């Protein structure tokens, strides 16, 4: 394929390209039927070496909505990985079977390794505690659709900012828009890694603060991005147990937030948002899932070079 493109990190897309993808996602949402045959005869492979509900099914739904087909595995134990096959070799096989692929792996950098052997577009659907660029497109699509802008926002990230790959990718993306400000709310043990604090936040010169108390930050946020403590990335279970319920957003705390503040969460939720908050109009984490399907439909079309073709 000419002009082969992959999506491994949000930085693989220029702001203009992100805008194009999000605009396409909005157009698809308005008129999904006219996109229902765009990928006829094409296959998406989903290679999921790590558990997933939303991301894999969202990719598969996106491709089916475009009229394409899907192949893949949702559990590495059912693939030749259990026999010792490397990601590189698996990718060489998938090149022969599919037109585009999405890969999730517990090792940081696995998607990049796959891309180095790929002759089809590779999408990183999460690599360890590193990046998750399609969750970022989902989050940007949600914010842009519901707030009408991606700049001039005060965004609070709360929870596991150390291992939360969705946080790393979204910060990477949002620092590129003007006048955004960040409040990073976490226990000391789960602060953002140095490569995000130094190389992204400090390097880009954005305004940010690191705090421990959620209550003190709620009153002037435009977005609150809640995250789960990433149990599977902890070396020590006791530490996980000690930290897992540190932040619980409930109705009482929501009284401290402004009427326009949106609550996002990449899901799955564990305890960090009480279910009593779900009916609050500011809670948009289930809507976010729907925005994710449109964002992935647009991304698939973009990577396959089909975003400009007429219906
Ligand atoms: C996130 C992930 O896998 O990083 N989930 C998702 O893709 N929607 C967040 C998480 O698992 O906590």
| Ligand 1 centroid, distance to 81 Cα (angstroms) | 22
Residue 242: what pLDDT? Answer: 94
Residue 199 has pLDDT above 90, yes or no: yes
Residue 33 CB neighbours (<10 A): 9
- Ligand 1 geometric centre to CA of 13 (Å): 21
Q: How confident is the model over 37-55, as a mean pLDDT?
A: 95
**Start-to-end CA span in the chain (Å):** 22
In ligand 1, which atom is closest to the CA atom of 164?
4
Q: Which atom of ligand 1 is nearest to the CA of 55?
A: 7
Mean pLDDT of the region 38-43: 98
- For residue 115, give Cα distances in angstroms to 124, 134, 181, 307: 9, 16, 33, 21
122 has which bridge partners? 101
Residue whose CA lies nearest to ligand 1 atom number 12: 228
Ligand 1 centroid, distance to 142 Cα (angstroms):
16
| pLDDT at 257 > cutoff 50 | yes
Which residue, judged by its Cα, is nearest atom 6 of ligand 1?
A: 266
Stated as kind and residue range, the H or E segment containing 125 is strand 122-127
Nearest atom in ligand 1 to the alpha carbon of residue 160 is 12
Nearest alpha carbon, ligand 1 atom 8: 266
Using one digit for the tens of pLDDT, what is the confidence trace for 151-194?
A: 999 999 999 999 999 999 999 999 999 999 999 999 999 999 99
Residue length, the chain? 311
1 C-alpha vs ligand 1 centroid, how far in Å? 31
Mean pLDDT calculated for residue range 83-110: 96
Atom of ligand 1 nearest to the CA of 230: 12
Q: Ligand 1: residues within 6 Å at CB?
A: 54-55, 126, 132, 135, 165-166, 228, 266-268
Distance from residue 132's CA to the centre of ligand 1 (Å): 8
pLDDT value at position 140?
98
Cα(310) to ligand 1 centroid in Å equals 34
The DSSP code sequence of 183-235 is EEE--GGGPPPHHHIIIIIIHHT-EEEEES-SGGGGGG-SEEEE----GGG-S
Atom number in ligand 1 closest to CA 267:
8
Res. 2: pLDDT tops 70: no
What token pair was written down for 138? Answer: 């989902």
Sheet holding 100-105, edge to edge: 69-73, 43-48, 100-105, 122-127
Q: Find all residues with CB under 8 Å of 158, minimum gap 6, and list them.
A: 185, 186, 214, 224, 225, 226, 227, 247, 249, 272
The pLDDT score that the predictor gives to residue 82 is 80
Query: Quick check: 1 pLDDT over 60?
Result: no
Protein residue whose Cα sits closest to atom 1 of ligand 1: 266
Report the DSSP beta bridge partners of residue 46. 72, 102
In contact, 116 and 147? CB cutoff 8 Å: no
Average pLDDT over residues 1-13: 89
Confidence of residue 31 (pLDDT cuts 50, 70, 90): very high
Confidence of residue 104 (pLDDT cuts 50, 70, 90): very high
- What's the pLDDT at 83? 85
The answer on pLDDT for 236 being more than 70 is yes
Atom of ligand 1 nearest to the CA of 165: 4
DSSP 223-279: EEEE----GGG-S-HHHHHHHTTS--B-HHHHTTS-TTPEEE--S--SSSB-GGGTT
Q: How far is the CA of 311 from the centre of ligand 1 (A)?
A: 33
**pLDDT tens per residue, range 260-298:** 999 999 999 999 999 999 999 999 999 999 999 999 999
Q: Which pLDDT value is given to residue 311?
A: 46
Q: Are strands 154-158 and 181-185 parallel, antiparallel or unpaired?
A: parallel
Report the separation in Å between the CA atom of 267 and the middle of ligand 1, taken as the mean of its atom positions: 6
Q: Enumerate domains of the chain plus CATH numbers.
A: 10-132+290-303 (3.40.50.1370), 134-288 (3.40.50.1370)
Where do we find the tokens 């194009």? 20
Query: What number is the average pLDDT over the span 119-139?
Result: 97
Contacting residues for 272 by C-beta, under 8 A, at least 6 apart: 158, 159, 226, 227, 228, 229, 247, 248, 249, 265
Site to substitute for ligand 1 among 123, 128, 268, most atoms within 8 A of C-beta = 268
Predicted confidence band at 299 (pLDDT cuts at 50, 70, 90)? Answer: very high
Q: What is the DSSP letter of 12?
A: G
The alpha carbon of 149 and the centre of ligand 1 are apart by a number of angstroms equal to 24
Q: What share of the chain is helix, strand, coil (3-state, %, to 5)?
A: 45, 15, 40
pLDDT at 3: 87
């Amino acid at each position: 394929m000419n002009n082969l493109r992959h999506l491994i990190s949000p930085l693989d897309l220029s702001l203009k390209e992100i805008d194009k993808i999000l605009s396409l996602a909005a157009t698809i949402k308005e008129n999904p039927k006219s996109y229902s045959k765009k990928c006829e005869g094409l296959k998406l492979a989903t290679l999921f070496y790590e558990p997933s509900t939303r991301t894999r099914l969202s990719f598969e739904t996106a491709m089916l909505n475009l009229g394409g087909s899907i192949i893949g595995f949702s559990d590495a134990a059912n693939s030749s990985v259990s026999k010792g096959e490397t990601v590189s070799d698996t990718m060489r096989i998938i090149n022969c079977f599919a037109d585009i692929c999405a890969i999730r792996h517990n090792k940081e950098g696995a998607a990049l390794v796959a891309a180095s052997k790929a002759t089809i577009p590779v999408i990183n659907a999460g690599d360890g505690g590193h990046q998750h660029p399609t969750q970022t497109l989902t989050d940007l699509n949600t914010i842009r659709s519901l707030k009408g802008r991606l700049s001039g926002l005060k965004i609070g990230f709360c929870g596991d900012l150390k291992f939360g790959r969705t946080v790393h990718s979204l910060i990477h993306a949002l620092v590129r828009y003007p006048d955004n400000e960040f409040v990073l709310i976490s226990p000391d043990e789960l602060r953002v890694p140095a490569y995000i604090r130094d190389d992204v936040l400090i390097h880009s010169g954005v305004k940010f603060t690191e705090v421990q108390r959620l209550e003190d930050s709620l009153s002037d946020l435009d977005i609150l991005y809640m995250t789960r403590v990433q149990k599977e990335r902890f070396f020590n279970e006791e530490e996980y147990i000690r930290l897992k319920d540190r932040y619980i957003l409930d109705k009482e705390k929501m009284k401290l937030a402004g009427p326009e503040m949106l609550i996002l969460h990449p899901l799955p939720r564990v305890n960090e948002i009480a279910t009593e908050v779900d009916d609050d109009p500011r809670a948009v984490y289930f809507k976010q899932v729907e925005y994710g399907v449109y964002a992935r439909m647009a991304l698939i079309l973009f990577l396959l070079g089909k975003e400009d073709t007429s219906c």
